[in-house]
Amino acid sequence: MSDQSKKKIVREIKVDLDKCIGCRACEVACSGFHASPKYSSFNPSRSRIRVVQDLVNDVYVPLRAGEYTAAECTGRQTFKIHGKQYSECNFCPASCPSRELFKEPDSGLPLKCDMCADEKMPMCVEVCRPGALTYEEREEERADEEPALGEVETGLKSLVHKYGAQKVMDTIARLSQND
């Protein structure tokens, strides 16, 4: 393996909350970019980035759609920011059954940010002139990949994970004696 193949490009959008003016241009650009044909329609409800706003408490948080989750989480953490309580749900990027955020308005299918895959820069960053969103590409060492596991190994590993190594070994020993 060459050295190069051990590197990978990490694409990252950095968010500076102090610079966000809450204009939602990112939502407009994102929904347009992902429309078909491209830019044929605009609809923040389809955007994969939303600005969570709380005017009265001066909170503006651009949030990008993350993983889809089939079930609500059990997390019940709350944060107090400048004297106002927020639940972790307020700033969670998941497309989750507990709320409407990051779902196609018609189908309910989950939305996820793809960093505008083919563009040199994600469109939300491109239109964010105040500079709340910035784009960064950096190279990162790729961790050595683990060798592929065989079928039996995979099965055993999950059993070990579930019941613990000792119980699995005991069972295998018992089964072997029975033979």
The residue ranges that bind other proteins (CB under 8 A) are 18, 21-25, 28-29, 32, 35, 37-46, 50, 52-58, 60, 100, 105, 126-130
Give the residue with the Cβ less far from other proteins, 22 or 66.
Answer: 22
Q: Give me the helix-helix angle, 165-178 and 151-163, nearest 10°.
A: 120
Quote the least distance from Cβ 26 to other proteins, whole Å. Answer: 10
Give the residue with the Cβ less far from other proteins, 80 or 162.
Answer: 80
Greatest pairwise CA separation for the chain in angstroms: 73
Quote the least distance from Cβ 133 to other proteins, whole Å. Answer: 12
DSSP conformation class of 150: P
Asked whether 33 and 42 are in contact (CB, 8 A), the reply is: no
Quote the least distance from Cβ 129 to other proteins, whole Å. Answer: 4
Asked whether 28 and 42 are in contact (CB, 8 A), the reply is: yes
Quote the least distance from Cβ 80 to other proteins, whole Å. Answer: 15
Give the residue with the Cβ less far from other proteins, 55 or 70.
Answer: 55
The dihedral built from the CA positions of residue 37, 26, 65 and 90, taken in this order, carries a sign that is negative
Quote the least distance from Cβ 20 to other proteins, whole Å. Answer: 8
Give the residue with the Cβ less far from other proteins, 57 or 154.
Answer: 57
Amino acid identity, position 109: L
Give the residue with the Cβ less far from other proteins, 104 or 136.
Answer: 104
**Nearest in space to 107 (alpha carbons), one of 124, 118, 95, 115:** 95
- State residue 24 phi and psi, 5-degree precision: 65, 20
